[in-house]
């Protein structure tokens, strides 16, 4: 499978706990994106990386959220001190750096905070 891979697919956690999601992009895609999607809404941009550099962060990304892409390959998204409002699907996507290329999405990681 050469698509975008996300892990875990589902996570249930208690409020106040930390959670981490991992994304493995399509091989050789230098751009990687994180989006959040709540029920009945479209995905909303959180942040993106070009190689290992985090170039943009949305205002949606509070101080409790941190994303890394240490070697320019896989990425992690950590949420600290989770709140019920963090319950959502977290989508990862990647694309190559060439112009006109398409962003491809993974299957998402569902987070439920109880």
Partner 1 sequence: AQKVTQAQTEISVVEKEDVTLDCVYETRDTTYYLFWYKQPPSGELVFLIRRNSFDEQNEISGRYSWNFQKSTSSFNFTITASQVVDSAVYFCALSEAGITGGGNKLTFGTGTQLKVEL
* CA 9 – CA 5 distance, rounded (Å): 9
Under DSSP, is residue 6 helix (H, G, I), strand (E, B) or coil?
Answer: strand
**Sign for the pseudo-dihedral over CA of 15, 84, 49, 9:** positive
Beta strands 109-113 and 10-13 are parallel
Q: Which of 44, 60, 64, 81 binds partner 1 (CB under 8 A)?
A: 44
Find where tokens 């941009």 sit: 45
The tokens for 70 are 């240490």
Q: For residues 24 and 107, which CB has a smaller minimum distance to partner 1 in the complex?
A: 107
| Contact status: 25 vs partner 1 (CB under 8 A) | no
Q: Which stretch binds partner 1 (CB under 8 A): 13-21, 28-36, 65-73, 78-86?
A: 28-36
Q: For residues 6 and 82, which CB has a smaller minimum distance to partner 1 in the complex?
A: 6
| Contact status: 50 vs partner 1 (CB under 8 A) | yes
Q: Which of 15, 51, 56, 60 binds partner 1 (CB under 8 A)?
A: 56
* CA 38 – CA 87 distance, rounded (Å): 8
Interface with partner 1 (CB under 8 A): 31, 33, 35, 40-45, 48, 50, 55-56, 89, 91, 93, 95, 97-100, 102-108, 110
């Amino acid at each position: 499978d050469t698509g975008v891979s996300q892990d875990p697919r589902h996570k249930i956690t208690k409020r106040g706990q930390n959670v981490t999601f991992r994304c493995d992009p399509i091989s050789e895609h230098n751009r990687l994106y994180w989006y959040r999607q709540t029920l009945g809404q479209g995905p909303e941009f959180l942040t993106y990386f070009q190689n290992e550099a985090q170039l943009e962060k949305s205002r949606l990304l509070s101080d409790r959220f941190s994303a890394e892409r240490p070697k320019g390959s896989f990425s992690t998204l950590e949420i600290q001190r989770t709140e019920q409002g963090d319950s959502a699907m977290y989508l990862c996507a990647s694309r190559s750096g060439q112009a006109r290329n398409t962003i491809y999405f993974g299957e998402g990681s569902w987070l439920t905070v109880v």
